[in-house]
Amino acid sequence: MSRPEPNEYNPHFKGYIGLVPEGDLQTILRKQLEESISFFKAISKEKSEYRYAEGKWSIKEVLGHLVDCERIMCYRLLAIARGDKSPLPSFDENAYNENAKFKRLDIERIINEYETVRLATLSLLANLSDETLELEGTVLNHPTTPRAIAYIIAGHELHHLKIINERYL
């Protein structure tokens, strides 16, 4: 799967896509899965509840956000790949996080959910043709391809891991 062109996604996502290294995206997503599981498993219960500032999410809430966001991105990817031309809306990440109540869950449960979601993402991508990955739909009022969404998933995770390393640890 080749890197998407700038006209395949909303400019809001340019930074995420730019974080994704060169190489096979499925390999990159599998490596992320292994590395992120190890990374989050090494975080203590106490540290998983740390917030670097008032009103910011804890580490486990950031992980929960990654899970929710990947689910939403995969829905968008699936809808476009199946030819759905309905405009796909944004979502309120803060409302999702608040209502998910990740703060009441042990980080191990969120890690397990992350693994389940990523494996589903990999399964979906493995079954899509190159032509399907280039179909066009509308996300956030902008033409978007499934290929771009797959790159956004990888880059979004890299973005948040960078923030965790810089501000939480």
* 15-44 pLDDT per residue, tens: 999 999 999 999 999 999 999 999 999 999
Instruction: State the DSSP code for 87.
Output: P
Using pLDDT thresholds of 50, 70 and 90, give the confidence band for residue 68. Answer: very high
Predicted pLDDT of residue 17: 98
Using pLDDT thresholds of 50, 70 and 90, give the confidence band for residue 130. Answer: very high
Cα 146 from chain centre: 13
No. of helices (H) and no. of strands (E), the chain: 8, 2
